[in-house]
Amino acid sequence: MTRKRDPMTRELPRWLNAVLVFGTLATVVLLEMRRPLRKSRQSKLERDARNAAFSLMAAATVALAEKPVTAPLSLAVHRNRWGLIKMARLPVALDLLLSVALLDYTLFIWHYLTHKVPFLWRFHKSHHVDLDLDASTALRFHTGELLLSVPWRAAQVRLLGISPLGLALWQTLTLMEIMFHHSNLRLPLALERRLCRVIVTPRMHGIHHSIVKEETDSNWSTIFSWPDYLHGTLRLNVPQQKITIGVAPYQDPAELTLGKVLELPFSPERPWNQPEREQLPLPRTTLAG
Ligand SMILES: [Zn+2]
């Protein structure tokens, strides 16, 4: 058989990808309008327009800078059996499962670095300065951050041993999950308490977008929540109505226009004034409402 027939060298069919991504976006947007979780501070229309502009730039950056690197690399990885997963010669289902889990875990590390390495934080900050949090925030990443992540992505593919299908599956699941966990969707608390043991949920990620530094420094996971359990970085006991979304020194909406946020990485860093959190009644790893 020719190599063209090998399913691992293919990506998800375009129609399936579109149904999954746009289906998730439409469902989440509809539900967050019907069951909002946090009160919004800014005009939804204005934020949506700004975040849509970011997402178009992000999509262009991924298409022009990331894909031309990762597409041929993942094909070479698959054909030459490079990297951890390929060396193990696993059945297809296990290969795909491990690809998603390990890409997700190494994205956890990248996300941690974007907060802890000052140069990377300059760019990731553009994502965090949004004063409200909803599905549109999920698509708001500075082009610079996406460019800087290309070598990391290439290293993930090469060292972990990721085939084109594993990469495509992880990318689609990541996109669906980030639209869900950034959303302003109020799930029943009992359901979300169960869900967050497995995947990242809106209340859990809302705490990561708090202006309280100690809360931002928690919940770094993307799809599955186990990396935060593993590293003891889980923080669930902050009630959503007590959270102020954003970055402490950037709370003035007039400073957060599209142009100003694009310039943000190149302007002087402001000290993070430290809003404190009062004592909370629930234990750290119990999800508050
Ligand atoms: Zn972050």
Along the chain (289 residues), what's the average pLDDT of each consecutive run of 10 residues?
71 93 96 96 92 95 97 96 94 97 98 97 96 95 97 98 97 98 97 98 98 96 98 97 95 93 94 84 94
Residue 19 in domain: no
Residue 175 in domain: yes
What pTM was estimated for this model as a whole? 0.95
Residue 153 in domain: yes
**Considering its fold, how many domains does the chain have in total?**
1
CA gap 60, 82 in Å, rounded: 29
pLDDT, position 74: 97
Q: How far is CA 79 from CA 8, 135, 162, 200, 253, in A?
A: 10, 37, 11, 33, 50
pLDDT, position 5: 67
| Residue 132, token pair as written in the block | 């409200």
Residue 24 in domain: no
CA angle 96, 143, 156 (to 5 degrees): 25
| Residue 181, token pair as written in the block | 């966990």
CA gap 76, 90 in Å, rounded: 17
pLDDT, position 192: 98
* SS3 state at 199: strand
pLDDT, position 89: 87
Q: Nearest CA to 231 among 212, 218, 213?
A: 218
What is the CA(120)–ligand 1 centre distance, in A?
Answer: 11
Residue 278 in domain: no
| Residue 31, token pair as written in the block | 């539900």
What is the CA(37)–ligand 1 centre distance, in A?
Answer: 20
Render pLDDT for 70-83 as a digit per residue (tens, 0 to 9).
999 999 999 999 99
Residue 15 in domain: no
CA gap 28, 137 in Å, rounded: 13
Render pLDDT for 238-283 as a digit per residue (tens, 0 to 9).
999 999 999 999 999 999 999 999 999 999 989 887 788 888 899 9
What is the CA(215)–ligand 1 centre distance, in A?
Answer: 11
Q: How far is CA 86 from CA 92, 110, 174, in A?
A: 10, 22, 22
pLDDT, position 7: 85
Q: Nearest CA to 121 among 151, 150, 106, 142?
A: 142
Q: Give me the domain span that covers residue 241.
A: 44-265
What is the CA(174)–ligand 1 centre distance, in A?
Answer: 15
pLDDT, position 75: 96
Residue 272 in domain: no
What is the CA(34)–ligand 1 centre distance, in A?
Answer: 26
pLDDT, position 278: 87
Residues 6+ apart with CB under 8 A from 118: 269
Residue 74 in domain: yes
